[in-house]
Copies of this chain bind each other. A is one copy, B any other.
Amino acid sequence: MAKERPEKAEETEQMIEKEGGKEAAEVPGGAADGRDMRAVLLSAFGGLNKLRVARKVMPEPQDGEVKIRVKACGLNFIDLMVRQGNIDNPPKTPLVPGFELSGIVEALGGNVTGFEIGDRVMAFVNYNAWAEVACTPAEFVYKIPEDMSFSEAAAFPVNFVTAYMMLFEVANLREGMSVLVHSAGGGVGQAVAQLCSTVPNVTVFGTASAFKHEAIKTSLNHLFDRNSDYVQEVKKISPEGVDIVLDCLCGENTGKGIGLLKPLGTYILYGSSNMVTGETKSFFSFAKSWWQVEKVNPIKLYEENKVMSGFSLLNLLFKQGRAGVIRAAVDKLLALYNQKKIKPLVDSLWALEEVKEAMQRIHDRGNIGKLILDVEKAPTPLVSIILIIYCKSLLSSLWAAPLLISCSAAAPALEMGTVRCIEVGAGTAML
């Protein structure tokens, strides 16, 4: 990792609180020599108020590293858990969050081959993604196709590699199998659905908040409300259960998931979003999750012919040195992208200064697809936000198709295919 000099930033105020537009402060005493940059800073583990945009000294690539002018960054549920300090062995704060980005190669450290300045790339970063510039070892950097936007590229690595590795490396998905995925409307959920569609005759069951069903229903075979008794719902359709359960919830869902497996089926735990309840880390929810999760005796797996496993992409990359197998997965995924068989689904774009809003949105499970921090995007003034009102009352029992109430000033701030929304009615007002 590039070693950054100590922060000497005078931080910006949180843009959200100021209705946007204020430019970040200069690094104190720093000349306008282009060696500082904007970055999202997590000052300490905790709530949203621990996040702010700061000016930091720009990192320079060490041996083996690539320096990337960042265009877009992915925001994942794990970032929310990092903010809360709700992870194993958290690093020290202050830190710049973020594990994936896209951008343009700006410089190369020593001994880097295979890249040139100007290359359009996406990359994994072990923190420090949410900034205007980031450095990361070349083994974590991948060139992107010409027709892949930076937003798509920032939405690609974590979600698609996680989905691919689970389905094809851990669980060995094959024709005719069935898959249950939680948070089917999220980034990984949608990647799972798309990858399953590349294998003949795969049945995908998913759980998601009811209001997302209309938007994602074509991507899965069977959708259940996230608050429903999904075990019973699956068994109604497939009494024998499913071949693969992908669980990002943990807690009691582990026992349920293993129980739902067919013989020779595979349960994969890849997240523990159940641990997150409030805005800050809750010891109670953590302990509850740890205790509720079923410790499994391998003799039970022997008798039932079942497979229990876990998948942590970040550990695999940054603690366990498996960049090689990940690159092989990325190559296969980019081939599928080029064949137009998969395509990242971007939920919405946010300025760095809007990171709190974005994080609240993922906390509220408001997103359908991926949340992207667009580094070049100016914060959107409140008055220009498109309101998507889910008119629950208009269609009985279902969340309705979105009714767009557009303020004309908003148009320039939006990219095609992406939306910003405030849920009203039964939803959560985020602003």
Contact of A310 among B169, B304, B311 (CB under 8 A): B304
Is A264 close to B, CB under 8 A? yes
Give the nearest-CB partner of A312 in chain B. Answer: B302
Encode A247-277 as 1/0 by CB contact (under 8 A) with B.
0001000100000000110110110100000
Contact of A302 among B169, B297, B304, B310 (CB under 8 A): B310
Is A301 close to B, CB under 8 A? yes
Contact of A299 among B264, B299, B310 (CB under 8 A): B310
Is A397 close to B, CB under 8 A? no
- Cβ-defined contact, A309 with B310, below 8 A: no
> Given A263-B320, A272-B299, A293-B298: A309 and B308 within 8 A (CB)?
yes
Chain B residues lying within 8 Å of A299, measured Cβ to Cβ, are 250, 269, 272, 290, 293, 310
- Cβ-defined contact, B309 with A307, below 8 A: yes
Is A296 close to B, CB under 8 A? yes
- Cβ-defined contact, B311 with A305, below 8 A: yes
- Cβ-defined contact, B305 with A301, below 8 A: no
Most chain B beta carbons < 10 A, residue from A266, A298, A307, A315: A298
Chain B residues lying within 8 Å of A303, measured Cβ to Cβ, are 88, 310, 312, 315
Chain B residues lying within 8 Å of A316, measured Cβ to Cβ, are 263-264, 305
Encode A123-165 as 1/0 by CB contact (under 8 A) with B.
0000000000000000000000000000000000000000000
Q: How far is the CA of A269 from the CA of B306 in the complex (A)?
A: 10
Give, as a whole number of angstroms, the nearest-CB distance from A391 to chain B: 39
Is A300 close to B, CB under 8 A? yes
Q: How far is the CA of A284 from the CA of B170 in the complex (A)?
A: 36
- Cβ-defined contact, B297 with A305, below 8 A: no
- Cβ-defined contact, A302 with B295, below 8 A: no
Give the nearest-CB partner of A271 in chain B. Answer: B302
- Cβ-defined contact, A309 with B301, below 8 A: yes
Is A201 close to B, CB under 8 A? no
Is A231 close to B, CB under 8 A? no
Chain B residues lying within 8 Å of A270, measured Cβ to Cβ, are 302
Give the nearest-CB partner of A170 in chain B. Answer: B307
- Cβ-defined contact, B307 with A306, below 8 A: no
Q: How far is the CA of A287 from the CA of B173 in the complex (A)?
A: 37
Residues of A308-333 whose CB lies within 8 A of B: 308-312, 315-316, 320, 322, 325
- Cβ-defined contact, B315 with A310, below 8 A: no
Is A198 close to B, CB under 8 A? no
Q: How far is the CA of A132 from the CA of B16 in the complex (A)?
A: 83
Contact of A301 among B263, B290, B310, B320 (CB under 8 A): B310
Is A228 close to B, CB under 8 A? no
Most chain B beta carbons < 10 A, residue from A267, A269, A305, A325: A305
Q: How far is the CA of A299 from the CA of B286 in the complex (A)?
A: 12
Is A238 close to B, CB under 8 A? no
Chain B residues lying within 8 Å of A221, measured Cβ to Cβ, are none
> Given A264-B325, A310-B305, A311-B305: A298 and B320 within 8 A (CB)?
no
Q: How far is the CA of A295 from the CA of B316 in the complex (A)?
A: 23
Chain B residues lying within 8 Å of A88, measured Cβ to Cβ, are 303
Is A172 close to B, CB under 8 A? yes
Chain B residues lying within 8 Å of A297, measured Cβ to Cβ, are 290, 293, 295
Chain B residues lying within 8 Å of A250, measured Cβ to Cβ, are 298-299
Q: How far is the CA of A294 from the CA of B169 in the complex (A)?
A: 25
Q: How far is the CA of A269 from the CA of B296 in the complex (A)?
A: 13
Give, as a whole number of angstroms, the nearest-CB distance from A266 to chain B: 8
Chain B residues lying within 8 Å of A264, measured Cβ to Cβ, are 169-170, 316, 322, 325
Contact of A254 among B266, B298, B322, B325 (CB under 8 A): B298
Residue pairs across A and B with Cβ atoms less than 8 A apart, 15 shown, are A169-B264, A250-B299, A254-B298, A272-B302, A293-B298, A296-B296, A299-B310, A300-B310, A301-B308, A301-B309, A304-B310, A306-B309, A306-B310, A307-B308, A307-B309
- 10 closest A-B pairs (Cβ-Cβ)? A302-B310, A301-B310, A307-B309, A263-B320, A295-B295, A269-B298, A269-B302, A172-B172, A295-B297, A305-B316
